[in-house]
Amino acid sequence: MGENANEVPQEEEEDQIVNPFQVTVKKGEKIDYDKLIDKFGCQRLDPSFVERVERVTSRPPHVFLRRGVFFAHRDFNEILDAYERGENFYLYTGRGPSSEALHLGHLVPFMFTKYLQDAFKVPLVIQLTDDEKCMWKNLSVEESQRLARENAKDIIACGFDVTRTFIFSDFDYVGGAFYKNMVKVAKCVTFNKVVGIFGFTPEDHIGKISFPPVQAVPSFPSSFPHLFSGKDDLRCLIPCAIDQDPYFRMTRDVAPRIGYQKPALIESSFFPALQGETGKMSASDPNSAIYVTDSAKDIKKKVNNHAFSGGQDSIEKHRELGANLEVDIPFKYLTFFLDDDDEVEHIRKEYGSGRMLTGEVKQKLIQVLTELVERHRKARAAVTEEVFDPQMFQDEYQAVIAQSIL
């Protein structure tokens, strides 16, 4: 109720539109995340959470937590309360497999989820919404499934604990308890409601209108009887980018009406495009992002030629004014992927004051990203067809999860 109070039909004129299908701001402006928090009705993840997570997990908080990449939440405090009482929870994240290769922005939620899984030692379900992409992107069923499989390899390469992870595609897994939950959710949501939440129109096909329950129900443990049988009250924590919030606002609204726990969320800002921070990256422009398939040469070229610089036009002016770090993409990217706080602080000071030049910062970024992408490439190469058989996954996990952690 309360958390949906600010919901307005998307047709109304708005400065920024953020939903799973559209991230739009006024030309030249950046996303106003404070406004988004107000509009969505979620909470800001203040620094006290960072300390608390460190205390509870007895390990350093992830760089994405320390630097505020994950900046908003819903009921994350309740998850921590329960965890401190000795209660377990599970993680749920996912991906719509619309492209062959992932870019760095796609990795953000998975890198963070891996950290959460390791830190809290909890089970994880990963949904690949091949049905969604088949419906939204005019892909065939077969092509959507192929992309899901390819993307799954990249996801597995992020290093999840395979004894605690269940990865599935909707085309493979929808049915049984999962489908029953879809029906339960769908009964509680009117067409008018999804118009308000997602901006659907009467000209949209009913596949789109049917989809929100598919993404909602992995929030409920009863959708996975082979993992969580008899654990209907297990809480769920969803790490995701904030554009996915509408799905889970809907889910949280419905949950108590069907006797389920509301999922908790921990939400990230968007990873900026190389060209600058005006929203999400575009799959249609390969120069807008670094892909995990990019070669060292590609990375070098993209960073040098396309990363938007906050440095000044001339060296003289730069030495005098310093770089504008608010808009500088090489620095921004380093805050995501350079783990060493001291080094980041050093660059902030030196580059911001003009003593360091853009070229040096780009050089550092190229080094960091080349190492990251190379590590990923090796990990992905180890995910062979043999290791990766969704059915096999399912059976293995079932056994291991059942005895080890729940």
Is the Cβ of residue 23 or residue 186 nearer to a copy of itself in the bound state? Answer: 186
Q: How far apart are CA 247 and CA 266, in angstroms?
A: 14
- Smallest gap, in angstroms, from Cβ of residue 276 to a copy of itself? 35
Choosing from 15, 26, 47, 175, the residue that interacts with a copy of itself (CB under 8 A) is: 175
Q: How far apart are CA 43 and CA 52, in angstroms?
A: 16
- Smallest gap, in angstroms, from Cβ of residue 162 to a copy of itself? 25
Which residues on neighbouring strands pair with residue 89, listed in sequence order? 235
- Smallest gap, in angstroms, from Cβ of residue 152 to a copy of itself? 18
Interface stretch with a copy of itself, choices 68-76, 151-159, 173-181, 264-272 (CB under 8 A): 173-181
Is the Cβ of residue 191 or residue 359 nearer to a copy of itself in the bound state? Answer: 191
* Collapsed DSSP state (helix, strand, coil) of residue 211: coil
Q: Give me the sign of the Cα torsion angle 24, 30, 33, 39.
A: negative
Is the Cβ of residue 209 or residue 325 nearer to a copy of itself in the bound state? Answer: 209
* Collapsed DSSP state (helix, strand, coil) of residue 86: coil
The per-residue DSSP string of 290-330 comes to: -BTT--HHHHHHHHHHHSPP-S-SSHHHHHHH---TTT-HH
- Smallest gap, in angstroms, from Cβ of residue 140 to a copy of itself? 9
Interface stretch with a copy of itself, choices 19-27, 176-184, 238-246, 303-311 (CB under 8 A): 176-184
Choosing from 186, 321, 327, 406, the residue that interacts with a copy of itself (CB under 8 A) is: 186
Is the Cβ of residue 222 or residue 261 nearer to a copy of itself in the bound state? Answer: 222
Which residues on neighbouring strands pair with residue 74, listed in sequence order? 265
21 interacts with a copy of itself by CB under 8 A: no
Choosing from 26, 46, 87, 192, the residue that interacts with a copy of itself (CB under 8 A) is: 192
Choosing from 59, 141, 317, 399, the residue that interacts with a copy of itself (CB under 8 A) is: 141
189 interacts with a copy of itself by CB under 8 A: yes
Lookup result for tokens 């960072």: 50
187 interacts with a copy of itself by CB under 8 A: yes
Q: How far apart are CA 32 and CA 14, in angstroms?
A: 12
User: What is the CB neighbour count within 10 angstroms for residue 330?
Assistant: 27
Q: How far apart are CA 333 and CA 191, in angstroms?
A: 40
Interface stretch with a copy of itself, choices 191-199, 306-314, 322-330, 396-404 (CB under 8 A): 191-199
- Smallest gap, in angstroms, from Cβ of residue 302 to a copy of itself? 35
19 interacts with a copy of itself by CB under 8 A: no
Is the Cβ of residue 138 or residue 403 nearer to a copy of itself in the bound state? Answer: 138
Lookup result for tokens 């994350």: 76
Are β-strands 124-128 and 264-268 bridged in parallel, bridged antiparallel, or unpaired?
unpaired
Nearest to 226 by CA among 175, 284, 267, 189: 175
Longest distance between any two alpha carbons in the chain, whole Å? 68
Q: How far apart are CA 1 and CA 132, in angstroms?
A: 27
- Give the footprint of a copy of itself on residues 195-234 (CB under 8 A): 195, 200-207, 209-210, 212-213
Q: Burial level of 23, CB count in 10 A (0-12/13-18/19+)?
A: middle
Q: Give me the sign of the Cα torsion angle 318, 320, 325, 326.
A: negative
- Give the footprint of a copy of itself on residues 79-138 (CB under 8 A): 131, 134-135
- Smallest gap, in angstroms, from Cβ of residue 224 to a copy of itself? 14
- Smallest gap, in angstroms, from Cβ of residue 182 to a copy of itself? 8
Is the Cβ of residue 11 or residue 386 nearer to a copy of itself in the bound state? Answer: 11
Lookup result for tokens 């060493």: 340
256 interacts with a copy of itself by CB under 8 A: no
Lookup result for tokens 């994880």: 124
- Smallest gap, in angstroms, from Cβ of residue 395 to a copy of itself? 17
Q: Measured in whole angstroms, how far is the alpha carbon of residue 32 from the centre of its chain? A: 18
Number of residues counted as binding a copy of itself (CB under 8 A) = 37
Is the Cβ of residue 259 or residue 359 nearer to a copy of itself in the bound state? Answer: 259
Is the Cβ of residue 171 or residue 308 nearer to a copy of itself in the bound state? Answer: 171
**Which helix (H) or strand (E) covers residue 236, if one does?**
strand 235-241
| Site of interaction with a copy of itself (CB under 8 A) | 131, 134-135, 141, 170-176, 179-180, 183-184, 186-195, 200-207, 209-210, 212-213
